[in-house]
Chains A and B, each alone.
Chain A
Amino acid sequence: MARRLAPWIIALGGTAAVTFLGHEAHLGPSTAGFAFLIVVLFAALRGGLLVGAVASIAATLCYNYFFFPPFYTFSIAEPLNWVALGAFLVTSVIVSRLVIAARIEADRAERRRHELESLHRLSIDLFTATNRVGALGEAAGRALKHLGAAEGGLVLFDGTPFRQKVVFWVGEKPDEIEDLIAGVGRHREPLEFPSPHGRDVYLPLLIGGHTAGTLVARGTDASMQALVSASRLVGIAVEREKFIEDNAHIEALRESETLKTSLLRAISHDLTTPLTAIRIHTEALRRGDIGEPLAGIIGETDRLRRRIDNLLSMARLEAGKATPHREPTPPADLFHAVRENLPLVFQSRPVRIRVEDDCPDANVDPSLILEVLVNLIENAHRVSPNGAPIELLARVHPTEAAMVRIEVLDRGPGVPEQSDATQRGLGLEIARSLATANDGFFEITPREGGGAIARLDVPAAPLPSMESA
């Protein structure tokens, strides 16, 4: 209230003061005129056009009444003084208008400077601080803050303006806003409504000829120029985030493609190897050599069958068509089954089997884990020098009592540096996949004194309770 009264006090009080002091000091009309002009100037500067005009008229009246003869009347005897009074009135009105225009211009420049600074900070915020996916919401929040909006948010269109995804929102969001947002998306023109604390503005985010979404700033007092510029910046940020996402997606595709290629090579290698051996043996049969080639063919046919079984199990698990049938399985039974599956390995080199006394049963699908063990032992056999023993060990996990640890230890060349599926053979890849399907872990680590340890950690079966026993 005091602020709105101040210009009036300057205008009227100033005029009264100049009149009183000028009258007491017997100032001449020209000096008094300049003093009145100063009062009008200040009044206009503080109060605008109306206050300036009122001050001009009041000053003209007082000037006439007190300083032009005949004194104390509103009449003027000397025609020359009419000219002086008229000149005073015109000057005071023009000066106050000029002062006001300059003031408005300065205000506008100041506001523009402020908005530019704001946009500059926003652009720095958008493009230096956020170099990751998901930062768009924060960016929109900062944009609204810079625009002085109390409420609003960022809505992106999922293909069409009618499928809206709210990325960020502050304040209330009445239902009818959705239609406004969609309308802005379709027509690609900003919408603006007066609101209690400024304006509500809906801005389309235009990217390469289409509308990616709408930025809503409610209760903002920023200029349309600033709002449109901010929406452009947010639009670029949206597009950038899309690029970052696309890029990550492409990267993932490329990785999966590499994995597929290397898996395919491993499969082709693992299936071709037994086939090649069978073919060589068959030609030896034709040559008349019988014993060794026949045994070879039988062994290789088994190997081929196991490989095909492996691939089928893995494919079924990956397609989600098979779930492991878990049951309490004593490791000793698994080792026994391994012996039946790999008679050639057990005949050609010593295989030491040890199951520790306190080793619990494993809670696994026995046929899947058997496949894993067969693969691991076959692999160990393949890389071990002639006559070097392979060891099979089952015990409780050293730190987790609810896990069983099964290990295949060899004296082969150790863990290959390359982890390419072709290099390690498909067997290990399948072991990993089947172990995971049984909630287990598989790793292969170097063994002290040379060789490798293929380690399988699987859940232990709960001990039977006394009631059920």
Chain B
Amino acid sequence: MTIVPVILVVDDDPAIRESMARELRASGYTVIPASDGQEGARAFASHAPDLVLTDLSMPRSDGFELISAIRPAAQTPIIVLSVRGNDADKIRALDLGADDFVTKPFSVAELLARIRAQLRRMSGAAMKTLVFDDLTIDLERRRVVQGSRDIHLTPTEYSLLELLATNAGKPVFTDHIIARVWRDAPGTTADTVRVHMSALRKKIEPDPSSPRYIVTEPWVGYRFIAEPAS
């Protein structure tokens, strides 16, 4: 892939906007800066970026407005920059269609990893096999291989893994998991999900006490964090 991905960066604070733009450019991305939601929406329309990075709280037109303006017309990944302790905002942004969030102050390395995961997810939407570091998921045969050995999963565990892995890098709401894996069967609760998730982790995590693939996102749900092997 030789095309340079274009990232729209929306933040009202010039210091953050400019330093973030500098770091993204240093990593080889093309950056379009904007200082609020309206300016961001105009830049989105004229530059058609590959990914949007936006702050939530901005004067005049905020990040929620920008997300609403982009979704559902475009599937461009949106990562929001949220502030710690503001879970309601974070969840609202995800509900409106944001794909991921990072919490300020964030590490640039982490942000770059999230950006890569989102861009990869977009380009690999039609893949039949997902390959991560030492975990391979064959979506057609519903087979999971770790290293050289087959991992035997129950149908529920496999569905859970498939849902999270095809959304690698993106937080998935517990409600969404219940709807997709259990088809909203009556009596299914967050606890049900937690129990099956724990069983799945025991099978795929080298060290289930410090998970490498599946992490819990407080107040939201779960996220598959492994970066696909290129």
Taking a contact as CB atoms under 8 Å apart, the answer to whether A268 and B86 are in contact is yes
Smallest Cβ distance from B78 to chain A, in angstroms? 18
What chain A residues lie within 8 Å of B74 (beta carbons)? none
Given that A276-B106, A279-B105 are contacting pairs, would A423 and B86 also be in contact in the complex, using a CB cutoff of 8 Å? no
Taking a contact as CB atoms under 8 Å apart, the answer to whether A279 and B107 are in contact is yes
Taking a contact as CB atoms under 8 Å apart, the answer to whether B59 and A284 are in contact is no
- Contacts A274-B15, A276-B81 supplied; 7 other A-B pairs, CB < 8 Å: A272-B84, A272-B105, A276-B106, A277-B13, A278-B105, A280-B108, A413-B60
Q: Within 8 Å of chain B (Cβ to Cβ): is A293?
A: yes
Taking a contact as CB atoms under 8 Å apart, the answer to whether A281 and B19 are in contact is yes
Using a Cβ–Cβ cut-off of 8 Å, how many residues does chain B contribute to the interface with A?
Answer: 24
In the complex, identify which listed stretch (B20-28, B201-209, B211-219) lies at the interface while the others stay far away: B20-28
29 contacts between A and B (CB under 8 A): A265-B83, A265-B86, A268-B86, A269-B57, A272-B84, A273-B13, A273-B15, A273-B104, A274-B15, A276-B16, A276-B104, A278-B105, A279-B105, A279-B108, A280-B19, A283-B23, A283-B107, A283-B108, A284-B26, A284-B108, A287-B23, A289-B22, A292-B22, A293-B19, A296-B15, A303-B15, A413-B59, A423-B57, A424-B59
**For residue A274, which residue of chain B has the nearest CB?**
B15
**For residue B15, which residue of chain A has the nearest CB?**
A277
What chain A residues lie within 8 Å of B109 (beta carbons)? 283
By Cβ-Cβ distance, the 6 closest A-B pairs, closest first, are A276-B105, A283-B108, A277-B15, A280-B19, A279-B105, A276-B104
Smallest Cβ distance from B64 to chain A, in angstroms? 13
- Mask: chain B, 113-134; 1 = CB below 8 Å from A; 0 = not: 0000000000000000000000
Which residue of B13, B23, B57, B105 is within 8 Å of A284 (Cβ)?
B23
What chain A residues lie within 8 Å of B12 (beta carbons)? 382
Give residues in B with beta carbon < 8 Å to A: 12-16, 19-20, 22-23, 26, 57, 59-60, 81, 83-86, 104-109
What's the dominant secondary structure at chain A's contact region?
A: helix
Q: In A130-172, which residues have CB < 8 Å from any B CB? A: none
Smallest Cβ distance from B21 to chain A, in angstroms? 10
Rounded to whole angstroms, the CA-CA distance of A413 and B35 in the bound complex is: 11
Taking a contact as CB atoms under 8 Å apart, the answer to whether A272 and B83 are in contact is yes
Smallest Cβ distance from A78 to chain B, in angstroms? 109
Interface size range of chain A in the complex = 20 to 34
Smallest Cβ distance from A285 to chain B, in angstroms? 11
Taking a contact as CB atoms under 8 Å apart, the answer to whether A299 and B104 are in contact is no
Smallest Cβ distance from B35 to chain A, in angstroms? 9
What chain B residues lie within 8 Å of A293 (beta carbons)? 19
Q: Within 8 Å of chain B (Cβ to Cβ): is A300?
A: yes
Taking a contact as CB atoms under 8 Å apart, the answer to whether B60 and A279 are in contact is no
Smallest Cβ distance from A468 to chain B, in angstroms? 48
**For residue B81, which residue of chain A has the nearest CB?**
A276
What chain B residues lie within 8 Å of A299 (beta carbons)? 15
What chain B residues lie within 8 Å of A289 (beta carbons)? 22, 26
Taking a contact as CB atoms under 8 Å apart, the answer to whether B107 and A284 are in contact is no
Q: Within 8 Å of chain B (Cβ to Cβ): is A416?
A: yes
Q: In A380-397, which residues have CB < 8 Å from any B CB? A: 382-383
Given that A275-B104, A275-B105, A383-B59 are contacting pairs, would A280 and B83 also be in contact in the complex, using a CB cutoff of 8 Å? no
What chain A residues lie within 8 Å of B60 (beta carbons)? 413, 416
Rounded to whole angstroms, the CA-CA distance of A272 and B12 in the bound complex is: 13
Rounded to whole angstroms, the CA-CA distance of A423 and B57 in the bound complex is: 7
Q: Within 8 Å of chain B (Cβ to Cβ): is A19?
A: no
Rounded to whole angstroms, the CA-CA distance of A293 and B15 in the bound complex is: 11
**For residue A265, which residue of chain B has the nearest CB?**
B86
